[in-house]
Amino acid sequence: MIVVIPDVLSVAEARRCVEKLEKADWREGRYTAGPLAARVKDNLQLADDDPLATEIGVLLLERLAVMSRFVAAALPLKVVPPRFNLYASDASYGDHIDSAVFGVPDTSIRIRADMSATLFLSDPDEYDGGELTVMGEFAPHQVKLPAGHMVLYSSGAVHHVEPVTRGARFAAFFWIQSLVRENDRRSMLLELDDTIQALAADTPDNPAVARLTGLYHNLLRDWAVT
């Protein structure tokens, strides 16, 4: 399941984030990867405890908490604090799968990665390359979104970032532990939710709306793990 969440940030908000990140203290990204991923990771990354990462990360999580599309798609239980990366000068990240479990810095909290998120902060016109390519069951999906837009995808999917051959690509990325662990079940619940919303908008008094809503919550009750 690949889901685009538009307008997490406005264009102006994304631009202000980039202006701050352009002055940040960037480090080699490969040092934050496991031994296998480090072989194919060639980018820059902010330290997890960088005050700027905390500042922008809090803004993103506050915004996402009230975005119905994000909540419907991810059904978030726990979220790893957002991290930030920079691709420039032919930087890339080869094929890899995200780690299964992440720790939250300075805590004993462990979060299972069910869904991965990339929020694009740079406008596509500002750089060449840099597409996020997620391998699907039948074909790869290339993603390059407007500034402020975010994509969600399964953390178990093989994916990579194409080399950036011009300009700079700034982005936030993080992982979500969902109430519903199985990707296919999350997909079905999202499709059911979309159907309910469309039916309610078209015929709000249709008794099927209540029945379908009940079905949705009973499925979520059966499948959710808290």
Whether the pTM exceeds 0.85: the reply is: yes
Per-residue pLDDT, 105: 83
Distances in Å between the alpha carbon of 65 and those of 95, 164, 175?
30, 31, 14
- pLDDT band at 187; cut points 50, 70, 90: very high
Q: Encoding tokens for residue 200? A: 């309610």
pLDDT tens digit string along 81-92?
A: 999 999 999 999
Which SS3 state, helix, strand or coil, does residue 80 take? coil
**Structural domain spans, the chain:** 3-178, 183-223
Residue pair 28/169 in contact by the 8 Å Cβ criterion: no
- pLDDT bucket at 101, cuts 50 / 70 / 90: very high
Question: Which residue, chain included where needed, has tokens 């969440």?
Answer: 5
- CATH number of this structure's domain 3-178: 2.60.120.620
Read off the pLDDT of each residue in 51-73 and give the average, rounded to a whole number.
97
Angle of CA points 43, 10, 27, to nearest 5°:
20
Q: Which residues contact 68 (CB under 8 A, 6 or more apart)?
A: none
For residue 38, the model assigns a pLDDT of 87
* Neighbouring residues of 139: CB distance < 8 A, sequence distance ≥ 6: none
Q: What is the pLDDT of residue 18?
A: 98
> Would you state the structure tokens that stand for residue 162, as one six-digit string?
């194409």
Return left, alpha or beta for 200; rule: phi > 0 is left, psi -120 to 50 is alpha, else beta. alpha
Answer yes or no: is 169 a known binding residue.
yes
Residues ≥6 apart with Cβ < 8 Å to 167: 88, 122, 126, 127, 128
Burial class (CB in 10 A: 0-12, 13-18, 19+), 100: exposed
The domain defined by 183-223 folds into DNA Excision Repair, Uvrb; Chain A (4.10.860)
Determine the Cα angle at 178 with ends 55 and 54, to 5°.
10
149 is in an annotated binding site: no
